[in-house]
Amino acid sequence: MEQTMKYRTLEQVRKAIADNDAVRLDASLAEDVRADLEKTALALRNIERELLGDTSGDIVERLKAAAAPVDRIAADVRAKVTAMNGPAKVLVHMKKVVSVIVQVLTEAGRWR
């Protein structure tokens, strides 16, 4: 519940930053008003950084939890690939043996 409130507050702060930036960039503003808007922008950015720092730990934990099933699937895939490579290696060795036998028979046929 508290994290949801922080996310909602973060959204509100980001909207306030966007609104402040839209007003602050107006060329017809007086310098004192622009200076106040600059200070407001800095304060809003600092609040945003604090909220991001508070919520980043939660995001990292959720990403780690989401990555656990992917890690298990990756381990399964690696195990299956290793198992599938076994017969392929046997076939490669068999091909070499058959190739040597064919060469021997070819040479034997020449001597006939």
In this predicted structure, the answer to whether residue 86 has a pLDDT above a threshold of 60 is yes
Closest CA to 24 of 40, 10, 43, 11: 40
| Alpha helical stretches, state H, 1-112 | 2-24, 31-111
pLDDT, one tens digit per residue, over 2-45 is 777 777 888 898 999 999 888 888 888 888 888 888 899 999 89
Q: Above pLDDT 70, what percent of the chain?
A: 97
Q: How many CB atoms lie within 10 A of CB 29?
A: 14
Which tokens in the block code for residue 74? Answer: 């990756």
Which tokens in the block code for residue 107? Answer: 């040479």
- The structure's pTM equals 0.49
Residue 96 binned pLDDT confidence (cut-offs 50, 70, 90)? very high
